[in-house]
Amino acid sequence: MTMENQPPEDSLDELIDAWANGTLDGDAFARLQGALKASPEARARFLRVANLDAALRDAASAEDLVGPWREDADARPARSRIIAFPRWAAWPTVAAVAAALVLTAFLARSWWGGEKVERPEAMGEGFAILTQVVGARWTNPAEARKSGDMLARGTIALEAGLAQIEFFSGATVVLEGPGELEIRSASEAYCRSGKLRASVPPAARGFVIETPDGRVVDLGTEFGVAVGKGGESAVHVFDGKVELHDAAGAVRELETGEAFSRGEGLAADDTGFVGAADLDSRLARSNDSRFADWRAFSRDLRRDERLLAYFPMDQPGNWNRRLFNEAPTGSEIDGAIVGANRVEGRWEGVGKSALEFTPTGSRARLVIPGEFTSLTFSCWARIDSLDRQYNALYLTDNYQPGETHWQLHHDGRILFSILVRPNHNLMSWSPPVWDLSKSGRWMHLAAVFDEPEQEIRHYVNGDLVLADPIPPKFEIHTTRLGSGEIGNWGLPNRPDNSWFAIRNLNGRIDEFAIFADALTGEEIARLYDAGNPR
């Protein structure tokens, strides 16, 4: 950072106050960061603060010292927070000292080569992944599964439909309802009832399907298993070889074209077993049908007079860098695509596009003039990772009173914030809604600012996850949008400063909408149901 980009001497304390207050955004954070990197005097000021720590520990308990900034603050119930920092407060205040000490330790590790503190390694749980679902009706609706779910030990029970399960060992099983399959490990399952077809490549050799009649041990095959209501089992080998182990310990080998059921040898018949290729074609037909239904719904939605902006993102062609607004507000609200790539959307194989914001500077810019009261934001998002502290969905360029920010925190919580007035930032945090197990999966997200009710509501996949009342003394009656961005934030708008905050979403956004109204829970659920590919 050059000298002309450093904050003036008398603004450093203000930047530190803003950081401690949680309101330091974008350009200001970059300037503080640059000042501490470039200025020995600035670092010395932080070190002087660190020297106060010992005296402060003698004078106050740890909880008194750090107050709302204590390490377990995020364990509190998710509620909105009004953050205000009085301009007259002497610096350093106790809270500012605590925040400065935390930042100092971070800077010391990052910039001065000290001890590196690593995050705990992320852990997942499961033996398999549910990769495809077609027409599934679950025996217990409370245990309904979605494509992409990791499956731990337990039973998959279908009344109807098809489910494709890919075991971590490498075996793929297509279960047909009605049927029950108990997953026991990464290389073993128990078929209690119904039909399945298993494809086992060499890397997964030894995969086991147990039935009420015994065990089927794969020797590098494709085979089918059918278990009747009385537990009678039939095994059909379509390719390769299996071993059958009965309850008495006897072992029989079956090869390509052979079948066996209750002591009788048969000819294998693959016409009654749905495989991965069959399921894929059925899925394509299902997608075509669901996509046609969504397009009809979308055409009706485009006539909703409450829509300020609606980007269905169904225009193909990566060469076209215009994001077409299909709301009644017209082409003046069209967005400009910068750096983002047009990629396949949530409807597979139908030509429906989405925007991928993985390149660091990528964004879609738009301008929405006017003042409003209630607002609703809605989009489909596929998040690959949350590797920024803040990951943008939609943020206004600046942060003036009435302007809104909608983004995801690195811990999986959704943050919807509105600047009430200078130095008073209303922040509504949802519970965590994303973790690594959901990486690469499409989710429907919605945030509602309800002006009459003075409430902020967060929705995920059509379900309300938080209704957050706004304290009366911080009532908000006017909102604004103006210039803003989908998928990023931080427009460098001065010739002498090209820095910007990196908040681009590592993932994709599809069908983005802003309404000048507070949608009801039923309306949010309809948006989700109509747009859900399966």
Tokens of 43: 């670092």
- Asked whether 14 and 21 are in contact (CB, 8 A), the reply is no
pLDDT at residue number 128: 92
Q: Is residue 343 part of a domain?
A: yes
Q: Is residue 279 part of a domain?
A: no
- Asked whether 144 and 158 are in contact (CB, 8 A), the reply is no
Domain count, the chain: 3
Quick: pLDDT tens for 453-501: 999 999 999 999 999 999 888 889 999 999 999 999 876 555 565 556 7
Q: Hey, what amino acid is at 131?
A: T
Domain finish residue from 209, 239, 274: 274
Sign of CA dihedral 304, 310, 313, 318: positive
Quick: pLDDT tens for 287-324: 777 888 898 999 999 999 999 999 998 766 555 788 89
- The burial class, CB within 10 Å (0-12 / 13-18 / 19+), for 392 is buried
Same structural domain, 70 and 188: no
Q: How many CA atoms lie less than 13 Å away from 117 in the CB half-sphere?
A: 6
Backbone angles phi, psi at 508, to 5 degrees: -125, 150
Q: For helices 94-111 and 27-38, what crossing angle results, to 10°?
A: 60
In which band, very low, low, confident or very high, does the pLDDT at 515 lie, cut at 50, 70 and 90?
very high
Quick: pLDDT tens for 185-213: 999 999 999 999 999 988 889 999 999 98
Same structural domain, 38 and 140: no
Using only the alpha carbons of the chain, give its radius of gyration: 28
CATH number of the domain enclosing 179: 2.60.120.1440
Whole-number average pLDDT of the chain: 80
Other Cβ atoms less than 10 A from the Cβ of 323: the count is: 22
Quick: pLDDT tens for 226-257: 998 888 899 999 999 999 998 888 899 999 99
Cα separation, 36 vs 53, in Å, equals: 20
165: containing domain: 128-274
Identify the CA nearest to 304 among candidates 448, 519, 103.
519
Angular region, 30: left φ>0, alpha ψ -120 to 50, beta rest: alpha
pLDDT at position 419 over 60: yes
Same structural domain, 305 and 414: yes
Same structural domain, 263 and 375: no
Max CA separation in the chain (angstroms): 91
In which band, very low, low, confident or very high, does the pLDDT at 97 lie, cut at 50, 70 and 90?
very low
pLDDT at residue number 29: 67
Q: Is residue 116 part of a domain?
A: no
